[in-house]
Amino acid sequence: MIILRSDEEIGQIREAGRIVALVLDKLRMSAKPGIETRELDRIALEETLKNKGLPAFKDYKGYPANVCISINEAVVHGIPDARKIKDGDIVSMDVGVKCGNYFADAAITVGVGNVKEQARKLIKVTEESLYRGIENARPGKRLSDISASVQECVEKSGFSVVRSFVGHGIGERIHEEPEIPNFGKPNKGPRLESGMILAIEPMVNEGSYEVEILDDGWTAVTKDRKLSAHFEHTIAVRNGAAEILTTLTKDDRNR
């Protein structure tokens, strides 16, 4: 069942999303050559707690860290450890936060230092595909209109959308109905209604869309070991246009 949230509930999810955005902003600034990914995890935890949130991923189904840090060929669910980020890496950072009784979730991919042109293009297209999906998240559209718009944006640039992982509803749980694939034909699935809360998250590969899971049981990597990028926002379906909930306020930006 897809739950329609009240304005009050959306306000609480928006506050969780604000914390997510603060954490991601801190991680973006901290992702430099030489830093260990476990230090990024520590920074994320500190920023989350400072803003009165709780990490949503820690211990979720046994996940051992506070955030997911996925480098280069890692698609999603990379576990922070002693690995150091190197010049030229692309780093995907996925953050979930619980605030009160509600969750929000977002991800970014950043290029560190001297990043190759193809990697920069992959990052740009993946982010663009997220916003194409968000443009189609409005009342009267169908769920697959989001999926189709993401796929079209990605494939016309010569990349592929991951099919093993999908976006999702979010609210009182980190994962709720519906699942939101990043591929498919338009005009299928449930009609979108104002009050739906969705985490839209394109995962885009440089080469084939096929992935495999490493021996740690979590880290998903491209099967061909080519690069992957990941962007995500939690949004509220609203009359007129979707509202992005995982963003900074004007006061946050002016700090």
User: For all residues of the chain together, what is the average pLDDT?
Assistant: 97
Convert the pLDDT of each residue in 226-251 to its tens digit. Answer: 999 999 999 999 998 999 999 997 77
* DSSP state string for 99-136: ETTEEEEEEEEEE-SS--HHHHHHHHHHHHHHHHHHHT
Phi-psi region of 100 (alpha: psi -120 to 50; beta: other; left: phi over 0): left
Domain boundaries of the chain, sorted by first residue: 7-253
| Residue of 122, 208, 120, 126 whose CA lies nearest to 164 | 208
Q: How far apart are CA 253 and CA 78, in angstroms?
A: 29
Mean pLDDT of 68-74: 98
Convert the pLDDT of each residue in 72-125 to its tens digit. Answer: 999 999 999 999 999 999 999 999 999 999 999 999 999 999 999 999 999 999
CATH topology of domain 7-253: Creatine Amidinohydrolase (3.90.230)
Q: What is the pTM of this model?
A: 0.97
Instruction: Indicate the length of the chain as a whole number.
Output: 255
Give the pLDDT band (50/70/90) at residue 255: low
pLDDT of 254 higher than 90: no
What pLDDT does 250 receive? 72
pLDDT of 37 higher than 90: yes
What pLDDT does 252 receive? 76
Higher local confidence (pLDDT), 102 or 252: 102
219: tokens are 């880290």
Convert the pLDDT of each residue in 9-34 to its tens digit. Answer: 999 999 999 999 999 999 999 999 99
Give the pLDDT band (50/70/90) at residue 52: very high
